[in-house]
Structure 1
Amino acid sequence: MGDPKAVAAQIRMKLPSLTPLEGKVASDILARKDIDEATPLREVAEKSGVSDAMVVKVAKKLGFAGFREFRQGLVDYNRSDTAALHSEISLQDSSSEIVQKVFRTAMQALEETFAILDLAAFERAVEYLHRAKQRDFYGLGGSAQIARDVAHKFLRIGVRASVFDDAHMMMMSAALLGPDDVVVAFSHSGTTAAVIEAVELARKNGARIIAVTNYAESPLAGLVDVVLCSTAQNAPLLGENATARIAQLNLLDALFVAIVQRDRATADQNLDRTMRAVQSKRRS
């Protein structure tokens, strides 16, 4: 699978495409830290309570040639510095340990998201957003907060974007879009019904669609022109969504900077104008 840092992320991204049993097997094996080059297929299968054939099937559905390549990918990942960043938080942890674990978990999400980033998709997203007549951002809950953060950055440089975090408003937006417009759909799971329905309508009307999600094979990802994936390991207290948002914010920051570079002179001019406009609101 190339970069060892990307192995766990690429496995997690494919989990929605597996059956519940296959997903359990994949998650069980991914969570193990004791697998090495000599670990036999039979032992792995027995630990997961399935047949040898099921483990091989899961390995192939995850994109590996077979069990041996799957095993080697996990070994390489577990030996990487990135894998060592994550530690579960326990009730016995001191404040120092809590801070360290939270920060290191965020660092792992950034490292893994960078490792799986599709630069060709990233560049297409930059081109679509730069050339768009109208840019509409869709997201609910935590995803809406990311959409607002990005829209705020864009406004500072004179790139107009609208944020819709209500199912009805998203559908109204989608109904008015056309081939010169772009939707950025934010959904960690890629299964948010309100977002998917609005994306379907926007796509029907000819708009380009960019998805920001954690799962490359989710229902949302299957509908769009460009998929930008974040990734994060699930943690009982922090949750997968919260950690992934940190990676998504950084991913969108990179997108913002790339768009600025398309017309740096205009961006700098608009940034100066918007900064001066709010200067009077600050107390000296």
Structure 2
Amino acid sequence: MTNDVKESFSADSPPAPAALAAKVRTLAPSMTRSMQRVAEAVAGDPAGCAALTVTGLAELTGTSEATVVRTARLLGYPGYRDLRLALAGLAAHQQSGRAPAVTADIAVDDPIADVVTKLAYDEQQTLADTAAGLDTVQLGAAVAAAATARRIDVYGVGASSLVGQDLAQKLLRIGLIAHAHTDPHLAVTNAVQLRSGDVAIAITHSGSTGDVIEPLRVAFDRGATTIAITGRPDGPVTQYADHILTTSTARESELRPAAMSSRTSQLLVVDCLFIGVAQRTYETAAPALSASYEALAHRHTPRSR
């Protein structure tokens, strides 16, 4: 993990208790296995871990006191004492019913009613985690860059390409020049044309999708402002990102791959980015949006003969 990423997750004030579970889910995949054990323990039983000393938690997880302290710092807390306070707060939230425990994975023989309930909860949790972990300073900077951009290119493949297309068409409807590129060769050849004053946005949950990283790197080298929307704030894509917007995901399971849960959080970030841009460009965005509605309404109205 780069120093910049470490600093972005080590703010002057520790994250609120409600954001702790979101940080664990976001950062756990990039942790060492021993740190993952600590993170999983505190997220799974915040009340029990809040009652433990640093030595007790190290013994419970089969790790060392140093590992416990490093995990606390990676999660954004100055030390273990601050993490314990957050755990106590999270436990209080759960006991009050405001932060229910994570539901079980969807089983192959679950009744469809249970599937609906579990998916709805996971979607809600994913959105809540993403909102809690989203850096609004980074978001504001991304909004400012996009609102004044000469041109906006968006890169994504697979499920992320659908999110990229959604963002591009939203921006087009408020009068901005935006293109979503799903072909990696076209993405790179278009990125070469970017310059200072343009914006390039890469969407990749893993943060390591080569077909998305390469055009972002080219755009970065050409002087464009670059934005990464990713679930891995320490992933390779962030090396070429001026602004990082972090997403969260529900737990992946056999019947619910990462592409499904990551799309939910990506769409939330995209909507936040779009609304911010629309607010900043309201004088031109509002008439453009009205014109697009009118054009579509006219198209859907049957013509009289």
TM over 0.5: yes
Q: Residues 212 and 229 of structure 1 are in contact (CA less than 8 Å); yes or no, is this contact kept in structure 2?
A: yes
- Selected match of 1:246 from 264, 286, 289: 264
- Structure 2: which 5+ runs fail to align? 1-13
Secondary structure of 1:109 counterpart: helix
Paired residue total? 284
Match of 1:89 among 105, 124, 146: 105
- Secondary structure at the counterpart of residue 220 of structure 1: helix
1:212 is paired with a residue whose SS is strand
Do the aligned residues in 1 keep the contact of 2:41 with 2:49 (CA within 8 Å)?
no
Q: 1:225 deviation in Å?
A: 1.2
139-148 or 68-77, which moves further after superposition? Answer: 68-77
The residue correspondences of 1:153-232 to structure 2 (distance < 5 A) are 153-232=170-249
Equivalent residue, structure 1, for 2:4: none
Contact 1:45–1:52, Cα closer than 8 Å, also in 2: yes
- Which residue is equivalent to 1:54? 67
CA contact (8 A) 2:195 2:224 kept: yes
In 1: Cα distance, 2:38 partner to 2:25 partner: 12
Q: Distance in 2 between matches of 1:228 and 1:39?
A: 34
In structure 1, the partner of 2:23 is 10
Letter in 2 for 1:250: L
After superposition, the Cα gap between the structure-2 partners of 1:219 and 1:79, relative to the gap in structure 1 and judged at 3 Å, is farther
Of residues 137-146 and 58-67 in structure 1, the stretch that sits farther from structure 2 once superposed is: 58-67
- Tell me the TM-score normalized by structure 2: 0.83
- Aligned partners of 2:47 and 2:91 also within 8 Å: no
Between stretches 103-112 and 47-56, larger displacement belongs to 47-56
Deviates more, 1:20-29 or 1:252-261: 20-29
User: Structure 1: how far apart are the matches of 2:90 and 2:187?
Assistant: 40
Rounded to whole Å, the distance in 2 between the matches of 1:74 and 1:12 is 15
User: Residue 88 of structure 1 aligns to which amino acid in structure 2?
Assistant: A
What is the DSSP-based 3-state SS (H/G/I as helix, E as strand, rest coil) of the residue aligned with 2:244? strand
Q: Percent identity?
A: 31
1:131–1:7 CA distance, 2 compared to 1 (3 A): same
Bigger mean CA deviation after superposition, 224-233 or 178-187: 224-233
1:257 maps to 2:238:
no
Cα 1:22–1:32 change in 2 (3 A) is same
1:194 deviation in Å?
2.0
Tell whether 2:132 aligns with 1:119: no
Cα distance, 1:113–1:16 mapped onto 2, change above 3 Å: same
The alignment yields a C-alpha RMSD, in angstroms, of 2.4
The match for 2:168 is 151
- Cα distance between partner residues in 1 of 2:245 and 2:256: 22
Do the aligned partners of 2:72 and 2:79 also contact (CA within 8 Å) in 1?
yes
Greater displacement, 173-182 / 13-22? 13-22
Moved more, 245-254 or 51-60: 51-60
Task: Give the Cα–Cα distance (whole angstroms) in 2 for the partners of residues 5 and 194 of structure 1.
Answer: 35
Structure 1 unaligned spans of 5+: none
Change (3 A) 1:261 1:89: same
1:260, distance to aligned residue in structure 2 (A): 1.8
- 1:65 aligned partner, one-letter code: P
Q: Is the 8 A contact 1:89 1:98 kept in 2?
A: no
| Aligned counterparts of 2:152 and 2:42: Cα–Cα separation in 1 | 41
What letter matches 2:50 in structure 1? E
CA distance in structure 1 between the aligned counterparts of 2:65 and 2:259, rounded to whole angstroms: 33
TM-score, structure 1 normalization: 0.88
Q: Deviation digits for residues 44-71 of structure 1, max 9, x if unmatched? A: 3333222333323332333323333323
